[in-house]
Structure 1
Amino acid sequence: MSSTLIVQLDMRTLCQEADVPADYVIEIVEHGIVEPSGRTPEEWVFDDRAPVLAKRAVKLHQELELEWEGVALAL
């Protein structure tokens, strides 16, 4: 018998786990880097891969000075 654990994160938890400000998460979502379920930031629910992707996206944005469009292409 196997069981599946599904991890879902709300916006606040994602920001804490990834150490990313909410305005960056909004940019990341708007550019399709991370795709939550829900229509608004208050309703967004992210999967367990989102913190890693968010961290990578912010790192590329800051360290390589890429625009969010470039980050989306790189990831």
Structure 2
Amino acid sequence: MSEITLHLSIHELCEYEEISQDSIYAMVEYGIVDPIDGKSVSDWIFDLDSAHWIKKAVRLNQQMQIDWLATAMVIDLLRQKEQLKKENDQLKARLNRLL
């Protein structure tokens, strides 16, 4: 069985999220997302995970009216929380197998 991966160009992300390329550039600059390919900004390609975090970052930036630096800090904390939850779930599953 082959794995299907979807990629989005910076233009598709801008259209989908109704944001400017400058906003995506800022998200990359602050480490919110990283393009998986592309030498120049106009050639950047993103995976679906990046699209997920861009959507969250845009919502935070617009609804909470915080700048991109603060948005990056919140996204980092959300990623850590997600990772800790995943690890906790795995440990609970291992513990349940032992009991």
TM-score norm. by structure 1 comes to 0.83
Q: Of the two structures, which has the highest relative contact order with CA contacts closer than 8 Å and spacing of 6 or more? A: 1
Q: Which runs of 4 or more aligned residues in structure 1 lie more than 4 Å from their structure 2 counterparts after TM superposition?
A: none
Match of 1:49 in 2: 49
Contact conserved, 1:9 with 1:45, CA < 8 A, in 2? yes
Q: Residue 31 of structure 1: CA displacement? A: 0.8
Contact conserved, 1:19 with 1:55, CA < 8 A, in 2? no
For structure 1, which runs of at least 5 residues remain unmatched after alignment?
none
Q: Residue 29 of structure 1: CA displacement? A: 1.1
RMSD, matched Cα: 1.4
Amino acid at match of 1:50: S
For structure 2, which runs of at least 5 residues remain unmatched after alignment?
76-99
Same amino acid, percent of matched pairs:
30
1: distance between equivalents of 2:14 and 2:50?
A: 10
Would you tell me which structure has more helix in proportion to its own residues? 2
What does 1:14-29 align with in structure 2 at a 5 Å threshold? 14-29=13-28
Per-residue CA deviations over 1:43-74 (Å, capped at 9, x if unaligned) read: 21100122221121111112212121111110
Match of 2:40 in 1: 40
TM-score norm. by structure 2 comes to 0.66
Per-residue CA deviations over 1:13-63 (Å, capped at 9, x if unaligned) read: 111222322221111111110100323212211001222211211111122
Match of 1:61 in 2: 61
Count residues with an aligned counterpart.
74
2: distance between equivalents of 1:63 and 1:18?
A: 14
